[in-house]
Chains A and B, each alone.
Chain A
Amino acid sequence: MDVGTTIGSIKKGCWVFMSAIIANSCVEEFEPETEIFESALIVEATITNEEKRQQVLVSRTFRLEEDGPTPESSAVVRITDDQQGNYAFEEVEPGTYLSTEPFRALPGRAYELTVETSDGRTYGSRASSLTPESEILDLYASVGENSNGQEGIGIFLDNRPLGTDARFFRFEYEETYKIIAPRWVAVDAVVVRDRPRPPIVILEPKTEEQRVCYNTVPSNTIILSDTEDSSQDGLTRFPVRFIRKDNFIISHRYSILVKQFVQSRDAFAFYETLDEFSSQTESLFSQVQPGFLEGNIFSLENESEKVLGFFQVSSVTTRRLFFDYEDFFPGEPLPPYESDCSEEFTPNLLPDGPDGPSPLVQAINALGQKYVEATGDENSPYILVTRACGDCTALGSNVVPEFWEE
């Protein structure tokens, strides 16, 4: 925990205190509207020392009230190095550009990124070179509490620099968890006929795997740490992720792939500021002065054009960890499932009015509710549950990931 965050939580605490005393201070959410919209180019480019098709993401800003992103298509993306290396990129899906050939960043070379958008503007980055390497010594999970005193599993990391100067780290992770639909049965209620009335719904064996699934989710928070203030070279017991005990993702088997990016000081500062601006809730009494965040990508034609982006060349190390809920909480009840599966529905087969829809057909086809058992009542023949309770594909994929180990 660095100083800034500590201070942040202090302020948050004060806030709580004031609220307690006067019981009326308030923080409310509101719908923001973009009063003036500025379209600006966003570039996210991290190339690594892994041999792969390297990726560059190019998009534009979008209105606050809209859901993004707005990909920037048909741009010409290129990376060059100071030894006449030239790496072309192609757009594989809107806004996502992959190098046409796989390559890996090599130490000692200076790389530059250029982006030419379809409207003819060109953007360039400052030169960047590969950061030093650091190895992940250990990745492990243990039961503990978070700062709010809630119980759960913390995932920690120890690392060690290979050589010197690997002091700034950013982490990403990809977590994969096994889902077992709690009300799964081997048969499905299938609508054979809706009209003419009466509708016909029959039971058929399921044709695909719907009991056990896997879901993979990438991290979406900025996780940073540095060893600049530490007497040790590496991180010890750095908390990468905390999962509350009541989070359903750890119900069965859980796996996390942690990616460690060694960053330059500038890149670290950029991510740190980005993070600071987006977690301002903690600084109520004194808000951090926000402003335009400058990266290392600029317009080559118009100096005052705002471009937000960072091009970095990072050394990457990854490590995967598996564990079961049973490993840490043997014999304890599982966390609550994602959906409430005790809620059961018994829709009528026949509609209420002559022309109305059949509630049962609606439940199966529109809501995707899943059969669990028959009632014996002809008017409402089946008991149904929310889809995810009987069909895990609502929450993940039924294909076992390649890396999965039981």
Chain B
Amino acid sequence: MSRFCLIILLLSPLTVVGQEDGVKLSISFTDEPIAKVIPMIEEQTDYQFFYAEDWLGSDTISGDFIGVNILEVLDHIFGKTDIQYHFGPNRKIYLIRNQIIYNELPDGFFGRTPDSSGSNVEIPSRNEVNPIFLNLEKVNRASKVKTIRIGKANQNRRDELLKLQGYARAGTTGEPITDLAIFIKGGRGGVVTNEKGYYEIRLPYGKNSVLTKSLGFKDTENIIVMFNDGRYDFVLEENVEQLEEVVVEGLARTNVEDATTGANQILSEETKNIPLVLGERDVLKVATTLPGITTAGEGAAGFNVRGGNTDQNLILLDGAVIYNPTHFFGIFQALNPFAVKDAVIYKGNIPARFGGRLSSVFDITTEDGNTSALSAEASIGPVTSNVVVETPVIKDKASFLLGARGTYSDWILRSLDDESLRNSEASFYDFIAKYTHKLDGNNTLSGTAYYSRDNFSITSDSLFGFGNRMVSLRWDRRINEKTKGQLIFSNSQYDFEIEFDGNSNEDFDLGYTINETEAKLNFVHIPNDKHTLNYGLSSKLYLVDPGRRNPLNNESTVTPLEIPREKGLESAIYISDNFKVNDKLLIDAGVRFSIFSALGPSTQRIYEEGQPRSEGTLIEEREFDRNDFITTYGGPEFRLAARYLLAPDLSIKASFNNTFQYIHTLSNTTTVSPIDTWKLSDLNIEPAQGYQYSIGVYKNLQEDMYELSLEGYYKTTTNVLDFKTGAELLLNEEIETEILQGEGEAYGIEVLMRKNRGKLNGWLGYTYSRSFLRFDSPFREERINDGDFFPSNFDRPHDLSLVANYKLTRRFSLSTNFVYQTGRPITFPVGSFNFNNSEFVFFSNRNEFRIPDYYRLDIGLNIEGNHKIKKFAHSFWTISVYNVLGRNNPYSVFFLTDNGEVKALQSSIFAIPIPSITYNFKF
């Protein structure tokens, strides 16, 4: 019997005979499947059954009837199943699953039926509810939508909301899927599976179109026909073929439902359509298109998050800190885009498990290697090439991923005509390796190693290099049904060195290193549906070699100099609870207690209290022995957030958090430079502190196709660092005499509109924000701008970003970026003066002026290779033009004295349109 049969049946006018009477039979069966019983009945009578065999199931049944009405037998057989029988003409019995076949068509079946027609149809129900004609729709709409029937039709429950419950499991692993959103298409209600994958949802009687959505799993749409309360388990396929839209999202409703303010997720794969300079895919650059995240200028390294300095961002790669995630002074990111899975950015309420920086956390996770087959992904661009290879080590259990990336700029330089350029060297590269091993269902081990390096030799007499290296080891363990734990060990290092080899007797090499080692234990405990606890502790040891200088050769008269190593221990203990007070109110309250100790051996200089620090006010040099506690700072950090749902797709959130930062960059440049150094807090330099209050409204529209958010924040910071004008920072043994510590204030409003699906997708962000600093002191040499607040170097009030992607066909898509920003503040001359027979400029107060506004439009065309299934590799072309308008955006304005006269110059990084083409492929 095929379904087709039934359809015909339902479409043809039915002349359904009512209850059959009279036919009696005797039959006996013991533990027989229904499928065997039916032929026995057919044998004894002239009835013919029509059904699909798989409906009958494997349940067995026993019975012993002598001379009873066939109805009695059928009732006995099908009474406990979801099968209904119906007598057709010519002694046919139709078996139908959970469906009462009506002998009349309902009202409205052929459109509106005039009331006056005086229906004499008896519909055996109280309400005029449309009965369920399942397959009717199927004829009209061929789709892969699965139909699931729950219970048997029961007319008594028509006006009730029925309960459906069950679990969601991953198809391949059978693991529960947590946080799977289950909701009715077009409806308002929706639920999310809990940590065990369990859900419960109320659905109206009858046909419901139920959608599921989750990160990492294919979205599904099922027709669930509710006849009764019941159970259904979702088994979902992992989403192997990634989404091709530019979507910056986690769960569809995270925007609305999470308690965290100011959090964004960027999936690396989804950034591939965004046109970027020189065709380089760059998660970090994409981050700057989000509200609240800016850079000091085009190609500048470092981010300013909500008016915070560039050193206030914690950039983590698989849990370990990366100090400088850029190559080439910030033009390129130092992360292999194919190895990066996603970046979650916390710029508002930072979860309690993170700490140590004031402004934000960039939590970057790498991909796990492919455990089933060898695969690779590569790209070839105009300046760099990337490759990632993944291979299973133990099938379905362990995998290895290796990524490499490099530039061929050396080759470009060598092929140039200019002699000085031909002898130059400029190269950068990075490697990443990750091993993941699933020991058993409860334990997973993984390790990541990362290395990046930049080398430049531009003038014939100097060589400059900088690089990161990082290793992290992680053990994930499911302790029991309710508790998961993680143990992470990591070590990160950043260093740079400069070699100067001129012709005089002053040749030297110089270096700086920072190294940190951290152990972190993190637990997630879910005692019940209302609470999710996250607690743990971490401890981190810093070793900083603030600078060393050595003569390069025997002729050099440079004295070796080594600024003594700094050592510090930063530890923290934290707990937070995600508490679902009721359906509407969710509170995420956390506290982190952090403590930092500067450790010996060290010589600390003590200055007169209440006097500017200088050689003149030095009282003593105090010696500390190895591992002596020089000084200890610390305190509680509160991470409080709450969300209140006004409607399922509308919420308001508020948060407060405070943070400590015990490590500071020393930089006397207006933008980040690779020779900026990090310094630990000590007796003279106090830790910086930040306080942030934020509030926001979040709304999703049209089944989460559109996301809107509006967030405001107010932030204050204390003990942020700046420097006396013209301070010499590198190799300075008395650096504290150059340091000023002041306060900061920032506030802003961020609007983000995002379209997640459809041919056209992308986002539009606008931020109005201000950021000010103040350095006041009773002593004039410790003041900036007379001790008044002044705009910081990254105070850019208006910031508008549009990222859009339009899918022309399956293979072609167009994408575009548009950025507009107020020009950053600069210190401009307010006059010239003569000195030393030359003309010089006389500078205004700090940051009194601005460079012209910045705007830029980029366009990209993405071409997917054809979709033949058997093709060896999947290819992808990106053709893009950066700065289509050719806008000459000034990067900086500066003044130099040339031959005794002042010259004003302005520089820009990418002043004309830059086309590029990148070829990507994977298999």
A residues within 8 Å of B by Cβ? 1, 3-4, 6-7, 9-14, 16-18, 20-22, 24-32, 34-40, 42, 44, 57, 59-64, 66, 68-69, 144, 147-149, 172, 218-222, 229-232, 236-239, 269, 271-274, 276-281, 283-294, 298, 303-304, 308
Residues of A within 8 A of B793 (CB): 289
* Residues A59 and B549 in contact, CB atoms below 8 Å apart: no
The 19 listed contacts between A and B (C-beta, < 8 Å) are A4-B728, A14-B329, A28-B906, A31-B904, A32-B829, A32-B895, A32-B904, A39-B831, A61-B831, A62-B833, A63-B831, A231-B559, A281-B896, A284-B892, A286-B329, A289-B668, A290-B827, A292-B844, A298-B780
Q: Of B5-13, B119-127, B498-506, B685-693, which binds chain A?
A: B498-506
* B420 beta carbon closer than 8 Å to chain A: yes
* Residues A278 and B459 in contact, CB atoms below 8 Å apart: no
B residues within 8 Å of A by Cβ? 278, 299-300, 328-331, 383, 409, 412-413, 416, 418-421, 424, 426, 456, 458-462, 464, 498, 500, 502-506, 510, 549, 551, 557-559, 561, 667-673, 675, 723, 725-726, 728, 730-731, 780-781, 784, 786, 793, 827-846, 848-849, 888, 891-892, 894-897, 899-900, 902-912, 914
> How far, in whole Å, are A149 and B502 apart by their CA atoms in the complex?
12
> How far, in whole Å, are A3 and B499 apart by their CA atoms in the complex?
10
Further pairs besides A147-B502, A287-B670, A292-B845: 19, Cβ < 8 Å: A1-B502, A10-B459, A17-B409, A20-B412, A26-B907, A32-B904, A35-B830, A38-B844, A42-B835, A68-B839, A147-B461, A222-B838, A237-B504, A278-B840, A281-B905, A285-B300, A286-B671, A289-B668, A308-B842
CB nearest to A228 among chain B residues = B559
> How far, in whole Å, are A124 and B911 apart by their CA atoms in the complex?
48
* Residues B844 and A59 in contact, CB atoms below 8 Å apart: no
Residues of A within 8 A of B834 (CB): 42, 57, 59, 68-69
Partner of B831, one of A62, A147, A279: A62
CB nearest to A306 among chain B residues = B842
* Residues A14 and B897 in contact, CB atoms below 8 Å apart: no
Given the interface pairs A16-B458, A64-B904, the reply to whether A279 lies near B897 with Cβ below 8 Å is yes
Give, as a whole number of angstroms, the nearest-CB distance from B497 to chain A: 12
Partner of B504, one of A12, A231, A239, A276: A239
> How far, in whole Å, are A46 and B168 apart by their CA atoms in the complex?
84
Given the interface pairs A63-B831, A229-B559, A290-B827, the reply to whether A17 lies near B907 with Cβ below 8 Å is no
> How far, in whole Å, are A172 and B835 apart by their CA atoms in the complex?
13
Partner of A291, one of B409, B506, B725: B725
Residues of B within 8 A of A293 (CB): 725-726, 843
Given the interface pairs A147-B502, A230-B558, A236-B505, the reply to whether A285 lies near B673 with Cβ below 8 Å is yes
* Residues A36 and B844 in contact, CB atoms below 8 Å apart: yes
* Residues B831 and A291 in contact, CB atoms below 8 Å apart: no
* Residues B907 and A284 in contact, CB atoms below 8 Å apart: yes
Given the interface pairs A14-B458, A63-B832, the reply to whether A236 lies near B557 with Cβ below 8 Å is yes
Residues of B within 8 A of A278 (CB): 838, 840-841, 895-897, 902
* Residues B911 and A26 in contact, CB atoms below 8 Å apart: yes
> How far, in whole Å, are A63 and B836 apart by their CA atoms in the complex?
18
* Residues A280 and B895 in contact, CB atoms below 8 Å apart: yes
Residues of B within 8 A of A298 (CB): 780
> How far, in whole Å, are A248 and B620 apart by their CA atoms in the complex?
57
* Residues A289 and B827 in contact, CB atoms below 8 Å apart: yes
Residues of B within 8 A of A34 (CB): 829-831
* Residues B899 and A220 in contact, CB atoms below 8 Å apart: yes
* Residues A288 and B780 in contact, CB atoms below 8 Å apart: no
CB nearest to B828 among chain A residues = A35
> How far, in whole Å, are A290 and B893 apart by their CA atoms in the complex?
11
Give, as a whole number of angstroms, the nearest-CB distance from A70 to chain B: 9
Give, as a whole number of angstroms, the nearest-CB distance from A155 to chain B: 13
Residues of B within 8 A of A287 (CB): 669-671, 892, 894
* Residues B728 and A13 in contact, CB atoms below 8 Å apart: no
Partner of B462, one of A6, A35, A273, A277: A6
Residues of B within 8 A of A36 (CB): 830, 844, 848
Residues of A within 8 A of B908 (CB): 25-26
* Residues B456 and A7 in contact, CB atoms below 8 Å apart: no
Given the interface pairs A21-B383, A147-B502, A231-B557, the reply to whether A68 lies near B833 with Cβ below 8 Å is yes
CB nearest to B722 among chain A residues = A289
* Residues B905 and A220 in contact, CB atoms below 8 Å apart: no
* Residues A13 and B505 in contact, CB atoms below 8 Å apart: no
Residues of A within 8 A of B668 (CB): 288-289
> How far, in whole Å, are A222 and B896 apart by their CA atoms in the complex?
12
* Residues B506 and A281 in contact, CB atoms below 8 Å apart: no
* Residues B504 and A1 in contact, CB atoms below 8 Å apart: yes
Give, as a whole number of angstroms, the nearest-CB distance from B198 to chain A: 54
Residues of B within 8 A of A292 (CB): 725, 842-846
> How far, in whole Å, are A285 and B895 apart by their CA atoms in the complex?
15
Residues of A within 8 A of B412 (CB): 20-21
> How far, in whole Å, are A220 and B413 apart by their CA atoms in the complex?
36
Residues of A within 8 A of B912 (CB): 24
* Residues A13 and B458 in contact, CB atoms below 8 Å apart: yes
Residues of A within 8 A of B909 (CB): 18, 25
Residues of B within 8 A of A10 (CB): 456, 458-459, 462, 464, 498
* Residues A14 and B728 in contact, CB atoms below 8 Å apart: no
* Residues B906 and A27 in contact, CB atoms below 8 Å apart: yes
Give, as a whole number of angstroms, the nearest-CB distance from B418 to chain A: 7
Partner of B902, one of A64, A236, A284: A64
Give, as a whole number of angstroms, the nearest-CB distance from A35 to chain B: 6
* Residues B837 and A149 in contact, CB atoms below 8 Å apart: no
Residues of B within 8 A of A288 (CB): 668-670, 726
For the complex of A and B, the 6 pairs showing the least CB-CB separation, nearest first, are A13-B458, A273-B726, A286-B673, A61-B831, A286-B669, A32-B904
Given the interface pairs A4-B728, A26-B907, A218-B837, the reply to whether A38 lies near B502 with Cβ below 8 Å is no
> How far, in whole Å, are A44 and B848 apart by their CA atoms in the complex?
27
Residues of B within 8 A of A3 (CB): 498, 510, 549, 730-731
* Residues B459 and A9 in contact, CB atoms below 8 Å apart: yes
Given the interface pairs A28-B905, A289-B668, the reply to whether A9 lies near B462 with Cβ below 8 Å is yes
Give, as a whole number of angstroms, the nearest-CB distance from A38 to chain B: 4
Give, as a whole number of angstroms, the nearest-CB distance from B587 to chain A: 43
CB nearest to A283 among chain B residues = B669
CB nearest to A23 among chain B residues = B912
* Residues B832 and A64 in contact, CB atoms below 8 Å apart: yes
* Residues B836 and A222 in contact, CB atoms below 8 Å apart: yes
* Residues A291 and B830 in contact, CB atoms below 8 Å apart: no
Residues of A within 8 A of B786 (CB): 304
Partner of A24, one of B458, B892, B899, B910: B910
Partner of A44, one of B424, B828, B835, B906: B835
* Residues B500 and A231 in contact, CB atoms below 8 Å apart: no
Give, as a whole number of angstroms, the nearest-CB distance from A74 to chain B: 18
Give, as a whole number of angstroms, the nearest-CB distance from B900 to chain A: 4
* Residues B905 and A27 in contact, CB atoms below 8 Å apart: yes
> How far, in whole Å, are A34 and B786 apart by their CA atoms in the complex?
21
* Residues A17 and B558 in contact, CB atoms below 8 Å apart: no
Give, as a whole number of angstroms, the nearest-CB distance from B837 to chain A: 4
> How far, in whole Å, are A64 and B893 apart by their CA atoms in the complex?
14
CB nearest to B899 among chain A residues = A220
Given the interface pairs A6-B462, A27-B907, the reply to whether A20 lies near B413 with Cβ below 8 Å is yes
> How far, in whole Å, are A292 and B829 apart by their CA atoms in the complex?
9
